[in-house]
Amino acid sequence: MERGNFVDQIRIFCRSGKGGAGSAHFERNKMDAMAGPDGGNGGRGGHIILRGNSQLWTLLHMRYYKTVLAKDGEPGRKNNSTGHDGADIIIEVPLGTVARDEETGEQEIEILEEGQEVIWIKGGRGGLGNTNFASATNQAPEYAQPGEMGSEGWKQLELKILADVGLVGFPNAGKSTLLSVVSAAKPKIANYAFTTLTPQLGIVSYRDNKSFCMADLPGIIEGAAEGKGLGHRFLRHIERNSVLLFLIPADSNDLAKEYAILYNELKEYNEELLHKRMILAVSKSEMLDDELKEEIAKTLPTDIPHVFISSMANQGIVELKDMLWAALTAPTE
C-alpha cells in the first residue's frame, strides 16, 4: 500500500557477498626456498542484516532501493593472513516488519523489537587456504578452496503496524474523528467513504501518565477478506493489534448486521483474529436519549462489551478509555 509517504510493502533484489578464495601460497625465505604452505583463508562475504528501528513508521526509505548487493570477501594472503570479510549491509526497518522470499512466499524474518538485528541473507563462507590441507603425507598442498557463493533472489518486505488498539469499521464510521479526539494525531477527516487510505497512529493518554497506541486503519468493506477494496493490505495490519475496537455509527440501518459483517471478514481472513479482545463502540450517538440507547443495546451481540460514544460531543470517551485499558492489561488466559 503506497499513499503519499506511507509505504507498507516493497520488493527488492538482494545478493549477499561471495566468500573470498583461500590462498595456495608457500613461504619462501633465505634459509628455505620452500618452507611450507602459508596460504590464509578467504574472508566471509557480506551479510544482509535487518535491524529494528522504533523511529521508523513506514518503508518509505526503501522505496528507491531496487537492489541490495553486499560486498565480497577478500582472498586469503600469505603468512596465514585471512582476507577481510565483505562489509555487511544493515537495513533499518520499522517494528512489525516481515521479510519474505518472493518465489516461495515463505516468511523468513520478523522484526518486533528496537535494535533487534537478524542476519537475513548470509554471505558466502571464505575458502580455506592451503595451510589447512597440510598433513604428514601431504606436506606441500598446492590447492586451496574457492570462496562460497552468496545467496541472491527477489525478496519482499511488508509492514504490519504495531499498535495496542486497532479501529475496525466500515468507511465513514467515525474512526478518524475518534482518533483525533483521544490523541494528538491529525488524520484526514471528511464525510465520505475511504477518507482514510493509509493507517494513522496516535498515542492515547490515560490516567497516571499511562498511555497506549491506537491505529486508525482503512475501513473494511464486505468482501475485504477476498481482496476487495483495500482487502488484505488492510486486514494484515489488524494482526498486530492486541485489542480490536469495532466502531459502528448510531445512524446505521442495522447495527447488529454491520457488526456481523465486520466479524465475518476477520474470520474469513484469519480465524486467529477472533481470539483477540474486542469492544464495540456505537459512535455518533450524541442524538440518542437513554431510552433509545436501551432499545439499541438489546439488538447488540451479548458476547462483546459495548459503549455509546460521541467524539463530537466528547461523550463516553472516558468510559471507552477505561474499557480499552482494562482489556489491554487483563491477564491472558
CA distances from 9 to 2, 65, 106 (A): 8, 13, 15
Q: Of 139, 159, 179, which residue constitutes the final position of a domain?
A: 159
Cell 541473507, located at residue: 121
Query: Concatenated DSSP letters for 10-36?
Result: EEEEEEPPPPPPPP--EE--SS-TT-E
Which pLDDT score, from 0 to 100, does residue 262 have?
Answer: 87
Cell 586469503 identifies what position? 76
Task: Looking at the structure, tell me whether residues 172 and 35 fall in a common domain.
Answer: no
The whole-number pLDDT of residue 220 equals 61
86 lies in which domain range? Answer: 2-159
Q: Tell whether 294 and 185 lie within a shared domain.
A: yes
Only one residue has cell 542484516, namely 49
Q: Determine the pLDDT at residue 12.
A: 94
Closest residue by Cα to residue 242 from 112, 332, 113: 332
Instruction: Specify the pLDDT at position 229.
Output: 41
Which residues sit opposite 204 in a β-bridge? 212
pLDDT at position 34 is 64
Quote the number of domains for the chain.
Answer: 2
* List of the chain residues with pLDDT < 50: 1-4, 187-196, 222-231
**Which CATH number does the domain housing residue 111 bear?**
2.70.210.12
pLDDT at residue 333, rounded to an integer:
60
Spell out the alpha helix ranges (H) of the chain.
175-182, 231-238, 255-269, 290-299, 317-329
pLDDT score for 109: 93
Q: Do 110 and 199 lie in a common domain?
A: no
What is the secondary structure of 286-330 as a DSSP string? TT--HHHHHHHHHHS-TTS-EEE-BTTTTBSHHHHHHHHHHHHHS
Bridging pattern class, strands 243-249 and 165-168: parallel
3 state DSSP class of 208:
helix
CA triple 199-203-207, angle to 5 deg? 150
Q: Are residues 108 and 228 in the same domain?
A: no
C-alpha 175/C-alpha 263 separation (Å) is 17
| Whether residue 139 sits in one domain with residue 190 | no
d(CA 68, CA 53): 19
What pLDDT does residue 57 have? Answer: 77
pLDDT for 160 = 79
